[in-house]
Structure 1
Amino acid sequence: MATPLRVLVHGGGIGGLTLAVALARRGHSVEVAELREQFDALGVGIIQPSNALHVMREIGILEDCLAVGFEWQVLTICDPAGNPVAKIPQPQMDGAPANNGIPRPALAQVLGRAAADAGATVRFGTTVADLSDDGEGVDVTLSDGSTGRYDLVVGFDGIGSPLRTRLYGDRFRPEYTGFANWRVTLPRRADLEGVLMSTGNLAAKALLTPITGELMYLGSVFAEAEDFRPDPERAHEQLAERLADFTGPIAEALAQITDPATVVYSRISQVTVDAPWHVGRVALAGDAAHASTPHLAQGAAMAVEDALVLAQELDAADSVPAALQAWEERRRPRAMFVQSLSRAILKQETGTPTTPEEDELLTIGIPGAAHVLVKPY
């Protein structure tokens, strides 16, 4: 579209800020409504696989991400004692490295600066209080009492998306998978040059992931009751109990954890909006539309791909509705592939029965999926 649009992005996380940068650099007027008071992303670190880094290159911040992260190329598979079983080179897209581990807060700061530099406005401590779409535009009232009219509203507002609830009520609530993620940030082992995955004939696997030159995180997934929460006084001991069969690097990492407050525990849920991701001029993207389990390390990558592809389709279309339709047609198959295979891998690794469709997906596996996902999005 030749005419600049006025766009409201609801949510200033990884996907929302990527969209803000991409659109503002194209000359659109972008506001981000972010409920938090600053860019202080929760969590430990994430992996930016090559397709995510390709998006970072396209919006001009690849080098900034690499500067605060840890670039790596090889996944090492080990037995429970830490003995290497396989070293798997990771594929990459043209113009982007294979992988980058990065602390979530550092990525939030990089994206926040880029959004501001591009001319986007971030309104902290605000959320959508009301909206009305008349087909030609969306009238929005924010929680601070301000109002505005927008050509497009995009909900990058996470797995508990308030915008999704406005559009669909309780139809697409987050579904708890029965599993939870335990993660702890630790000093990086000097010999850890990429992700180390320790697994075997166990109902668990554990990973060490470098996220800076100085830091790594230990992560593991276990079946947990929906109402379970770690004991604030002994969360580190509870994690050690779950990983008691591991020796070598995993045990050495566990031995460093002495403060239960450093253990980050998060239940793994997924969302599948089995309906259009847009209603009129209001769209859902990222985890608001298709939250996945973390087994392909592609959740944030799918969100930033959503953002860039939406910007591209707004470039190409002659109307916002046409752009949204084209965007969803491009994005849904790829996002659903990631979600379905991620969930199948979780079930396979934990001994949960799989469906025939999941068994077929599992023939692709994690290495095969990596090769699929470095193809153009």
Structure 2
Amino acid sequence: MTTPLQVLIHGGGIGGLTLATALARRGHTVEVVELRGELDALGVGILQPSNALHALNEIGVLDACLAAGFAWEVLTIADPTGGTLAEIPQPRMGDLPSNNGIPRPALAKLLGEAAVAAGATIRFSTTITDLTDDGTGVDVVLSDGSTSRWDLVVGFDGIGSPLRTRLYGDRYTPEYTGFANWRVTVPRRPEVRGVVMGVAGTDGKAMLNPISADSMYLASVFAEAEDFRPDPERALEQLTERLAMFSGPVAEALASVEDPAGVVYSRISQVTVEEPWHVGRIVLAGDAAHASAPQLAQGAAMAVEDAVVLAESLDAHEGDVPAALKAWEERRRPRAMWVQALSRALLRQEMGAATTPEEDELLKVGVAGASHVLVEPY
């Protein structure tokens, strides 16, 4: 056990709750402040590749994730009619499953329970309104008027990170890629026992992602104007129009949508904080520092890796917070930036957009190569 620290985590998402659990299990005092009134994760489901499962195993929630989700081993590439083009076994990190799909609300619930069980406190409907780092600690004012002092403040507060704005102003606002993700939860078809990726050249891609014994989600990416938003009354119809080139399983999944209001639309943006991710005793992690396109399904995986590596770094530096943050970023930045760059290159390639020479070099690795790189130790 290293010197116990007082740590405030701004944001109760996947990365923040993973860090809270990892630190509280080590005996640190941890509080999570979350703007939402509860852990009601937005979205549909999430893919957990083997490296994410390894990180979650380190905080003791692997079995709960597998019980709530759907583990799988083979990626199927299909044509627009559903005909199989290739079946690609996915690599593992150690003896863990290659992948697991899980509903986002289920993951939020189990991570919240794990953090509290480890001894962390979660304060809802609360955010940071002011903070001052004097070099030996951080004085924080919260939106409920309370004040407190912390050894470390961590911003796991997402792509729109208010903490990032406090540190860097508007220098690192999210950059829209020109593409958006459409997703909707549907009943899982028995034959969908792993991710099925339907491809129609650069006209479109649709993925069927199992997330439990009974459910899966359909995801697709299309170029969209920056100011476009689906019509709430016609979102399912608009998605169906975009996927008109697909028949077979994709069309059947669309036809099985039970709640048209469940269509989730999100623009794909990225953030690259080029300056150090930490300023004194305040640090950004996960999407707040390095949000990526979803092409490698590594956004949440990078966040949970950030969390467990940060906990390890604080251990290794015996309470020397500035040294721990420096070592943590030196370890994390190259991997996270590589994932971000390759994810964006893949997005542009899939959508038929122009790529740079640097992206062309990255694309030689491909999705299959990347999956093997990412099961190496982080």
Normalised by the length of structure 1, the TM-score is 0.99
The change in CA–CA distance for 1:244 and 1:258 in structure 2 (over 3 A counts) is farther
Amino acid at match of 1:219: A
The list of structure 1 runs, each at least 4 consecutive aligned residues, that deviate by more than 3 angstroms after superposition, is: none
The residue correspondences of 1:1-377 to structure 2 (distance < 5 A) are 2-257=2-257, 259-318=259-318, 319-377=320-378
SS in 2 for 1:159: coil
Measured after TM superposition, the shift of residue 257 of structure 1 is 2.7
Distance 1:201 1:214 in 2: 30
SS in 2 for 1:80: coil
Identical aligned pairs, as a percentage? 73
Distance 2:216 2:16 in 1: 26
Name structure 2 gaps, 5 residues minimum.
none
Distance 1:76 1:260 in 2: 27
SS in 2 for 1:12: coil
SS in 2 for 1:112: helix
The number of residue pairs the alignment matches comes to: 377
Measured after TM superposition, the shift of residue 258 of structure 1 is 5.9
Q: Give per-residue Cα distances to partners, 1:48-76, cap 9 Å, x unaligned.
A: 00000001111111000000000000000
Q: Give per-residue Cα distances to partners, 1:234-290, cap 9 Å, x unaligned.
A: 111110100001111001111123643111001110000010000000000000000
CA contact (8 A) 2:202 2:352 kept: no
CA contact (8 A) 2:201 2:350 kept: no
CA contact (8 A) 1:153 1:283 kept: yes
CA contact (8 A) 1:6 1:30 kept: yes
RMSD: 0.8
Amino acid at match of 1:369: A
Q: Give per-residue Cα distances to partners, 1:97-125, cap 9 Å, x unaligned.
A: 11000000000001000000000000001
Amino acid at match of 2:245: D
Name structure 1 gaps, 5 residues minimum.
none
Measured after TM superposition, the shift of residue 2 of structure 1 is 2.4
The change in CA–CA distance for 1:57 and 1:259 in structure 2 (over 3 A counts) is closer
Q: Give per-residue Cα distances to partners, 1:320-367, cap 9 Å, x unaligned.
A: 000000000000000001000000000001111100000000000001
Distance 2:232 2:368 in 1: 37
SS in 2 for 1:272: coil
Distance 2:100 2:187 in 1: 17
Amino acid at match of 2:353: T
Distance 1:231 1:104 in 2: 24
Distance 2:59 2:259 in 1: 39
